[in-house]
Amino acid sequence: MSVLVNKDSKIIVQGFTGSEGTFHAGQMIDYGTNVVGGVTPGKGGQEHLGKPVFNTVQEAVEKAGADVTIIFVPPAFAADAIKEAADAGIKVIITITEGIPVADMVKAADYIKDKDCRLVGPNCPGVITPGEAKVGIMPGFVFKKGKVGIVSKSGTLTYEASDQVVKQGYGISTAIGIGGDPIIGTTTKEAVELFMNDPETEAIVMIGEIGGQLEADAAKWIKETGNKKPVIGFIAGETAPAGRTMGHAGAIVGGSEDTAQAKKAIMSECGIHVVDSPAEIGKKVAEVLG
């Protein structure tokens, strides 16, 4: 088992023939991901990277059986791309695009909430199930198959955590980069829940950052449901200067509970194994699973 994507996923790329879409789709195909085609309006019927190009997501669903999409559409059009995928019946919508206007994402999130789909992102590195499917921009060689699930707001820390876990002799079941924007599809709690329900995941690494309530919500849920699996937690941004805008639009401290110290305290109270530095993640996983 894995969560969200696996070797049987039929993946399309929205924004397939653009420079970003082309580069990362090529990397995904080289990794062995089951990319069944891509969507670029007006270029349907052509071939790109040896895969068919469709004019619409609906056409990709009907002709290629697509059930997962990855979106590399420019920010101004990305929210519409999300809606189009949801309308076409795509089950997992992974949105890499950063800089989507918040007002557009509010509308898109509301639009898809009653659809049978899961949005990951935007402004995220994607999702990888090692050895099966890389649906994103992460360096595939860092990830090895195993039993540790990773959920992270930060792309770089996703790779760092995975590298450490692998170097400790463990591997990754699936890694989910949820993104750092104010409006995202899959929350920390929802990603943790997926791993708690996955029989192949034995421990979870949860990487958050200053700003918002996502980590506190996840921690409280973990405690309420009985701490079924060990969770290792880290919060980035502890040394961020007060009032400074950081790289993620969601990393804005709005109150006393949004600080790194407060989040770490809540996580510890809820039974999460909190580390103070990303350099300690791998060792803590080994300690907890050893």
pLDDT tens, residue by residue, 15-55:
999 999 999 999 999 999 999 999 999 999 999 999 999 99
Give the mean model confidence (pLDDT) for residues 166-172: 97
248 is a catalytic site residue: yes
254 is in an annotated binding site: no
CA distances from 263 to 76, 144, 172, 217, 235 (A): 34, 30, 25, 10, 7
The residue from 24, 48, 248, 273 that is catalytic is 248
Q: Are 207 and 152 in contact (CB under 8 A)?
A: yes
Return the SS3 of 145: strand
Q: Mean pLDDT for the chain?
A: 94
159 is in an annotated binding site: yes
> Do the bridges between strand 126-129 and strand 172-177 make them parallel or antiparallel, or are there none, so unpaired?
antiparallel
Note the pLDDT of residue 211.
84
Burial-class residue 277 by CB neighbours within 10 Å (0-12, 13-18, 19+): exposed
17 is in an annotated binding site: yes
Return the number of other C-beta atoms located less than 10 Å from residue 1's C-beta: 11
Give the mean model confidence (pLDDT) for residues 179-184: 94
18 is in an annotated binding site: yes
Architecture category of domain 11-120 in CATH: 3-Layer(aba) Sandwich (3.40)
DSSP 142: G
What residue ranges do the domains of the chain occupy? Answer: 11-120, 138-289
Binning pLDDT at 50, 70 and 90, where does residue 241 land?
low
96 is in an annotated binding site: yes
Note the pLDDT of residue 270.
98
Give the pair of three-digit tokens for residue 204.
Answer: 């979870």
Q: List the CATH code of the domain at 138-289.
A: 3.40.50.261
Same fold? 11-120, 138-289:
yes
